[in-house]
Amino acid sequence: MNCSQRKLLILLFVFLCVTTIIFNHDQCQLCSNITTIYKHIWIEQALKQIPTCIPDDRPRQRALLYTLQEWTHFAQKYNIRYWIAYKTLVGYVQRHALLPHDSDIDLLIMAQDTAQLFQFSHLNFSSIYEFRIHPEWYIVEETKRSYFHSEGIHFVAPNARFINRKDSIHLNIWPMYDYHPDQTRMKNNSEAMLTQYDKNSKWKSTPKEWTFPLEKCLFSGIKVWCPAHPEKLVANIYGPISVNISSTECINGSWTNLVEHKTTKKTTIMNNQNMSTTQMTKAQTTAIRLNDDDDLIEKALEHIPICTPKDRPRQRNLLTMLQAWSHLAEQHRIPYWISYGTLVGYVQRRGLLPHDLDVDVIMMSDDTPQLIKLSQLNFSSDYVIKVQPQWYIANHSYRSYFRKEGIHFVAPNARFIHRKTQYHVDIFPAYDFNPLYANKSIEDKQSENLAIQALRNHWLSYPRNWTYPLETCYFSEIKVLCPAQPEKFVATIYGSNAVRKSDTRCVHGRWVAAI
């Protein structure tokens, strides 16, 4: 090989190296741009599921989600351990998303990790976002901290803030302590506890296992870190009702605290009618309850999307029917729990799936005689209970239709039917033995498993503790009974994606299967 050929090869090698570098750079830039576009799409899709009440809601909600997304990138880049907390966690538990009226984002970090954040407060990492650490973060009591307005520290309670300067939005970063500040750190405690502020700025301790290990979760389509038991933490700080029901409602174009509103409304009614408690008849009490039910249902409907003109009437009828069933079951002590597609709706959105056509519940098959007795009573002019005459046959493929008696079904053991619309609650059976492998007559003790029919008529046997003890929960504002571990039930029958993602979407005015 002569000299000119060697030079040519060297030039060719350099050219290939430069070309490869440029290509890889462009490819990385392209991937980055595509990722950014998709993240924008996810946020805009998430916003469609968040109601608005006042004109400023949507811009504020959008700014909060983009700020949270920027924080997640920042925290991942610098390996910052955090988890969502307070009202942000309430939003996750109630709707897996931002509360429509929320004005900021709340996060928790271990207090001792604040020292790690100091190095980031001096970084010029963005023209829009900045990091502010309280200079006295190491002082536990907020009342002993000072404001540092000249340094942009306009807060004392959080240890830090991640601030969106453009939209005047911020993330509060609160401290979590591995000891109780009012007690000595040297005290021997047999149970590992963590302590944080509660909603009244008082110290609240909870088991460490409620928080750790942290789990990845989706909040309005954004990947964040969640505590291990978010429902327990929300119930502990805000009360059990906050796991399912929002404390704030849109009334006459403004966000209103429900407790204050109901107190004012009740006082006004009593003053206008000058009515004493002893004058309130049973009929009047029932009428008020029905009006309250209607109000709850209309409130719930505000959070359920529609795709076709028939959606809202159907959704209203289904919720009204479920409310009637709930009252009837409670009155007659009928043990049941929501299941199948209805439970998917509860897990995904704490309410009715927008496209659902009926309501599904499960009862132990042995409790079906209760329904037979109830079906013989004239309990309502609007609803009727129809029980499959062959309900005792576990395999419904061996059952018959009894159309003359209005039994147009074989799979459920019974139906709770609205006479006028024919919408219904399907009441499916559960067994404490597997019909394929065991005979109930030879069971001498309570089984550790329950069995139901899953997809494609296959029998599913699952741990009893996934169902019991039954828990009171709120489904589109309606009080119902839920299994103890609804997410496990949904994931087992429909797959893990069904816990967070719907299999149906609205396309050009039609509900279609999501691909």
DSSP-derived 3-state class of residue 204: strand
Q: Report the Cα 486 to chain-centroid distance in Å.
A: 12
Any idea what the Cα angle at residue 353 is, between residues 347 and 358, rounded to 5°?
110
Phi-psi sector, 108: left (phi>0), alpha (psi -120 to 50), beta: beta
Mean pLDDT of the 205-220 span = 95
Nearest in space to 390 (alpha carbons), one of 412, 374, 371 = 412
Which H or E element spans position 21?
Answer: helix 3-48
For β-strands 337-338 and 414-418, DSSP reports them as unpaired
The CA R_g of the chain, rounded to the nearest whole Å, is: 28
Share of the chain above pLDDT 90, in %: 60
Phi then psi for residue 18, to 5 deg, are: -60, -45
| 158, 113 contact by CB (below 8 A) | no
pLDDT, tens digit (0-9, with 9 covering 90-100), for 471-513? 999 999 899 999 999 999 999 999 999 998 899 999 999 999 8
Task: Find, among 389, 91, 76, 404, the residue nearest to 220 by Cα.
Answer: 91
The pTM for the full model equals 0.53
What is the arithmetic mean of pLDDT over 373-402? 91
Distance separating alpha carbons of residues 173 and 241, to the nearest angstrom: 26
* Largest CA-CA distance found in the chain, in angstroms, rounded: 114
Q: What is the set of domains in the chain, with CATH numbers?
A: 45-240 (3.30.460), 300-513 (3.30.460)
pLDDT tens, position by position, 426-455: 999 999 877 766 555 444 455 789 999 888
> For residue 475, what are its two tokens?
């489904």
Instruction: Evaluate if residue 229 carries a pLDDT over 60.
Output: yes
**How far, CA to CA in Å, does 482 sit from each of 26, 310, 364, 409, 461?**
52, 28, 14, 25, 18
Model pLDDT for residues 324-343, shown as the tens digit of each residue: 999 999 999 999 999 999 99
pLDDT band per the 50, 70, 90 thresholds, residue 252: confident
Q: How far apart are CA 468 and CA 216, in angstroms?
A: 27
The Cα–Cα gap between 72 and 79 comes to 10
Neighbours of 185 (CB within 10 A): 9
Output the average pLDDT for the chain: 84
3-state secondary structure of 476: coil
